[in-house]
Chains A and B, each alone.
Chain A
């Protein structure tokens, strides 16, 4: 988080992490599509080849609060392919919250786990204790066959502390919930460490609520994904 007292501006960095082809960019595209235009920046995609992210995607969002405080949110994705590890570590620097986008397909278990381990390692390499990082997990691609069942996911999730969301980012479902859930989890953490409510009158749920109002319901799937 970055705080500019003079400009009364708060900048927060959120990173979408996960294995290759799990739908990180698709999540950002859906957020961009479904959010109302106000305070929504252009979705910037850096260096792609064959529709695969090489560096990152960046979606800037702004919330102008009545109190004169501006909250700027920078949404990043990381490249999922194994070889881009140093890029992932660089993008992860300074993240305030992470949405881990997992692939629901049964044969992607290992890829999900390897990517999560990679996240843990990169956080540690950046000098961050993974247990202090707000993380939400999205099980994406719920529309495909051969996926892990919801009940089983809930059972597994009950043993951990991360909030779980089910999504079909391609159709836009579950995307807003994941994003606002990540905002909430991040703000709870920022509140603990930075006392934002006392200092700026910014209650933990405010930003999440604001975004919930700004999301349109998922409509038609985009023509190409």
Chain B
């Protein structure tokens, strides 16, 4: 609600109106239209905006005009008439006829668009067919005027019947109206385009800001969680070390002989304590991995030796469950560059899982083979979508070692596969689930593999079994 002329913002459609002819008309095109009218009817045409700007003109100086202008009084009278014709504003929507002292006339036609006068067309001069005599206003104009010459020159002036001239003007006005309509529409469309883009940008900016805000809050929460986890794990580990230490001393009989029943109880306290310590250590590892603080000290190692060692460590647990562990590998397996403690941790976790999820009389197969891997180093993620820039170099794989841990266990449903490497994720997350664990092992394994520039992946079919593949690059020559 605005009682004054609305102050439009640059891209405000408001009432969808236009104020000036200049805004809508392409002057060059308008001149072409006028030119074709001139060619067709031989009539001079000038188009003025409401503010008086001449937007297009096509005219030819007539013989009579040339002659009159060669006379002193004639020149004055002619320029007066022309100026008056060009300045005359039609008040009504009808054509105004403006006379010239030669007997010729100008037709002044208002350009009306959307009920507003935006300008005018001045047609002429031409001689109405109805005029047959040479008017006295011409003959008496200048004492030097030669009547015969004036008559001859006047006869060269185009002659048009008044009604025809009105129809010609109406036609020109109709064409102009179409041009104005198209221009108006184009202008509104582009204004609307701009306004919509601006409005969408504003909306998106607001949404981005609120998302950024939410993201910052989450990041802060995550940081708090990590700190909390680090502190709690550390504070838990100290008393736990004492519990395990004193249990071991009790078991060893340092505090005196115990009954077999007491020994059994103390053993349970110790083994459960050790389990708890393992879990806390895992939490600390994960925390360090998440913060990028875990240090990897690599050595030049034989993958076969590590896998065999892990197999031996897992055999007792497997035998308890009547699960067989088999191992097989080729002879030409290259050495790799890895942290032996962390590699063992990865493999123990995978083999341990395989045994845990395989029912009695099932088996677990461990194997090593030579394969290839495309090693991704720092900065690669940012370059992933570069459209294969330098692919002949950048896509070159390196020789690598693949550990496969295959079981005949329960398998993992397809929908869950993408999530199993997430921290704290359990396929069966219910409190009454059959298989224990904190859901940290695979998440830690994945992070550790990544720290070795390797990959880990899984193939699984429910009720048939699961195979985990860990691929680590071959040791680089300078590491030996």
Instruction: Assess whether B13 is in contact with A3, with CB atoms less than 8 Å apart.
Output: no
The verdict on A193 contacting B1 (CB below 8 Å), with A55-B192, A86-B199, A90-B196 known, is: yes
With A and B bound together, what is the CA distance between A2 and B184 in angstroms?
Answer: 20
- Judged by a CB distance under 8 angstroms, whether A213 is at the interface is no
Query: B1-60: which residues lie under 8 A (CB-CB) from chain A?
Result: 1-6, 12-17
Residues from chain B with Cβ under 8 Å of A96 in the complex: 1
- Judged by a CB distance under 8 angstroms, whether B185 is at the interface is yes
- Judged by a CB distance under 8 angstroms, whether B115 is at the interface is yes
- Judged by a CB distance under 8 angstroms, whether A74 is at the interface is yes
Residue of B whose beta carbon sits closest to that of A61: B115
With A and B bound together, what is the CA distance between A58 and B192 in angstroms?
Answer: 13
Instruction: Assess whether A93 is in contact with B1, with CB atoms less than 8 Å apart.
Output: no
Residues from chain A with Cβ under 8 Å of B4 in the complex: 3
- Judged by a CB distance under 8 angstroms, whether A114 is at the interface is no
B203 to chain A, nearest CB (A): 6
The verdict on A44 contacting B5 (CB below 8 Å), with A55-B192, A58-B16, A90-B195 known, is: no
Residues from chain A with Cβ under 8 Å of B12 in the complex: 90, 93
Instruction: Assess whether B189 is in contact with A46, with CB atoms less than 8 Å apart.
Output: yes
- Judged by a CB distance under 8 angstroms, whether A41 is at the interface is yes
With A and B bound together, what is the CA distance between A60 and B188 in angstroms?
Answer: 14
Query: A19-47: which residues lie under 8 A (CB-CB) from chain B?
Result: 39, 41-42, 44, 46-47
The verdict on A13 contacting B15 (CB below 8 Å), with A41-B115, A44-B185, A55-B189 known, is: yes
- Judged by a CB distance under 8 angstroms, whether A81 is at the interface is no
Instruction: Assess whether B1 is in contact with A1, with CB atoms less than 8 Å apart.
Output: yes
Residues from chain B with Cβ under 8 Å of A89 in the complex: 199
Instruction: Assess whether A74 is in contact with B16, with CB atoms less than 8 Å apart.
Output: yes
Residue of A whose beta carbon sits closest to that of B3: A3
B191 to chain A, nearest CB (A): 10
A79-97 CB mask vs B (1 if < 8 Å, else 0) is 0000000110111011010
* Size category, B interface: 20 to 34
Instruction: Assess whether B195 is in contact with A42, with CB atoms less than 8 Å apart.
Output: no
- Judged by a CB distance under 8 angstroms, whether B148 is at the interface is no
Number of A interface residues in the complex (CB < 8 A) = 31
Residues from chain B with Cβ under 8 Å of A11 in the complex: 15, 17
B68-88 CB mask vs A (1 if < 8 Å, else 0) is 000000000000000000000
Residue of B whose beta carbon sits closest to that of A3: B3
With A and B bound together, what is the CA distance between A224 and B16 in angstroms?
Answer: 27
A180 to chain B, nearest CB (A): 20
Residues from chain A with Cβ under 8 Å of B14 in the complex: 2, 13, 93-94
With A and B bound together, what is the CA distance between A193 and B189 in angstroms?
Answer: 32
With A and B bound together, what is the CA distance between A55 and B13 in angstroms?
Answer: 11
Instruction: Assess whether B185 is in contact with A39, with CB atoms less than 8 Å apart.
Output: no
B169 to chain A, nearest CB (A): 20
Instruction: Assess whether B199 is in contact with A58, with CB atoms less than 8 Å apart.
Output: no
Instruction: Assess whether B203 is in contact with A86, with CB atoms less than 8 Å apart.
Output: yes
Residue of A whose beta carbon sits closest to that of B2: A2
B12 to chain A, nearest CB (A): 7
The verdict on A2 contacting B6 (CB below 8 Å), with A72-B115, A74-B15, A86-B196 known, is: yes
Instruction: Assess whether A58 is in contact with B181, with CB atoms less than 8 Å apart.
Output: no
- Identify B114's interface contact among A41, A76, A93, CB under 8 A: A41
The verdict on A87 contacting B192 (CB below 8 Å), with A41-B114, A41-B115, A72-B115 known, is: yes
Residue of B whose beta carbon sits closest to that of A12: B15
Residue of B whose beta carbon sits closest to that of A190: B1
Instruction: Assess whether A90 is in contact with B192, with CB atoms less than 8 Å apart.
Output: yes
Residue of A whose beta carbon sits closest to that of B204: A86
- Judged by a CB distance under 8 angstroms, whether A4 is at the interface is yes
- Judged by a CB distance under 8 angstroms, whether B200 is at the interface is yes
Instruction: Assess whether B185 is in contact with A4, with CB atoms less than 8 Å apart.
Output: no
With A and B bound together, what is the CA distance between A55 and B2 in angstroms?
Answer: 24
Residues from chain B with Cβ under 8 Å of A60 in the complex: 16, 114-115
Instruction: Assess whether A62 is in contact with B6, with CB atoms less than 8 Å apart.
Output: no
Residue of A whose beta carbon sits closest to that of B8: A94
Known contacts A44-B184, A86-B196; 20 additional CB pairs below 8 A are: A1-B2, A2-B14, A2-B15, A3-B2, A11-B17, A13-B15, A46-B188, A56-B192, A58-B16, A60-B16, A60-B115, A62-B115, A70-B115, A72-B15, A74-B17, A89-B199, A90-B12, A90-B13, A193-B1, A194-B1
B residues lining the A interface (CB < 8 Å): 1-6, 12-17, 114-115, 181, 184-185, 188-189, 192, 195-196, 199-200, 203
A residues lining the B interface (CB < 8 Å): 1-4, 11, 13, 39, 41-42, 44, 46-47, 55-56, 58, 60, 62, 70, 72, 74, 76, 86-87, 89-91, 93-94, 96, 193-194
- Going nearest first, the 8 A-B pairs with the smallest beta carbon separation are A86-B199, A55-B192, A62-B115, A74-B15, A58-B16, A3-B3, A90-B195, A86-B200
